Amino acid sequence: MVIGFDAAEATLVEPWARAGTLSTFRRLTEQGTLLRPGNNVDTLPASVWPEIATGRMGGKIGWYWNRYQLHSGESDLRATTAEDVDLTAVWDIASAAGRRCAVLDVPHAAPSPDLNGIQLREWGNHDTAFDLGTEPPGFLDDVLKRFRPYPGPRGDECEEHETAADYERLLDGIEQGVERKRELFRTYLEEEDWDLFFACFSESHCVSHQYWHYFDETSAWHEPDAPERFRQAIPKVYGRLDAALGELVEAAGPDATTLVVLSHGMGQSIGGPQVLAEVIVRLGYGSGHGVTSTVRGRVPPGVKRALKFVLRGAARRRLQRVAGSLPRPLESSQTRAIVVHNGRCGAIRLNVKGREPFGAIEPGAEYDAACAELIEEISRLENAETGAPAVREVVRTDSVYGPERHANIPDLVVRFDGSSGPIHAVRSERVGTVSTPIEEHSHQRSGDHTPHSRIWIRGPGVPAGDARDEGHVLDIAPTVLALLGVSVPAGLDGRPLELGRAAVV
What is the predicted pLDDT for the residue at 327?
77
Please, which residues have CB within 8 angstroms of residue 415's CB and are 6 or more apart in sequence?
42, 345, 391, 392, 393, 394, 395
Q: Are residues 113 and 162 in the same domain?
A: yes
Instruction: Answer with the one of 420, 441, 462 that is the final residue of a domain.
Output: 441
Number of neighbouring beta carbons within 10 Å of residue 217: 9
CB 213 within 8 A of CB 221: yes
- Asked whether residue 495 is assigned to any structural domain, the reply reads no
Are residues 387 and 323 part of one domain?
A: yes
Residue 503 is assigned to a structural domain of this protein: no
What count of residues does the chain have?
505
Q: Are 126 and 107 in contact (CB under 8 A)?
A: yes
Residue 437 shares a structural domain with residue 458: no
**Rounded distance between C-alpha atoms, residue 311 and residue 307, angstroms:** 6
pLDDT tens for each residue of 235-257: 999 999 999 999 999 999 999 99
82-101: average pLDDT? 97
Judged against a pLDDT cut of 60, whether residue 216 lies above it is answered with: yes
The set of long-range contacts for 397-405, using a CB threshold of 8 Å and a minimum separation of 24, is: 397/43, 397/59, 400/40, 400/43, 400/59, 401/57, 401/59, 401/60, 404/59, 404/60, 405/59, 405/60
- DSSP E strands in 185-293: the ranges are 196-201, 258-262, 265-268
Q: What is the DSSP string of 123-153?
A: SS-SS-SS-SEEESTTHHHHHHHHH-S--S-
Same domain assignment for residues 123 and 235 = yes
- What is the number of structural domains in the chain? 2
* pLDDT, tens digit, 9 for 90 and up, residues 276-308: 999 999 999 998 654 445 555 555 555 555 545
Same domain, 197 and 279: no
Q: Is residue 120 assigned to a domain?
A: yes
Look up residue 412 and give its DSSP letter. E
**Average confidence (pLDDT) over 481-499:** 96
- The verdict on 359 and 466 lying in the same domain is no
Q: Which of 441, 465, 492 is the last residue of a domain?
A: 441
How far, in Å, CA of 278 to CA of 384, rounded? 15
Q: Are residues 223 and 290 in the same domain?
A: no
**pLDDT greater than 60 at residue 424:** yes
Asked if the structure places residue 119 within a domain, the reply is yes
Q: Are 264 and 7 in contact (CB under 8 A)?
A: yes
If asked whether residues 221 and 279 sit together in one domain, one would say: no
Q: d(Cα 133, Cα 130) in Å, to the nearest integer?
A: 8
Element at 68 (helix H, strand E)? strand 68-69
- pLDDT of 144-167, one tens digit each? 999 999 999 998 898 888 899 999
CATH of the domain at 238: 3.40.720.10
Average pLDDT score, the chain: 92
- Rounded CA separation 499/497 (Å): 6
Confidence (pLDDT) at 316 = 46
> What domain range is 263 assigned to?
2-57+86-267+448-483
Residues 183 and 278 in one domain: no
Same-domain status, 134 and 167: yes
pLDDT of the residue at 349: 98
What mean pLDDT comes out for the span 204-229?
95
Least reliable range by pLDDT among 74-88, 389-403, 432-446: 432-446
**pLDDT the model gives residue 503:** 33
Shared-domain flag, residues 53 and 108: yes
Domain match, 425 and 462 both? no
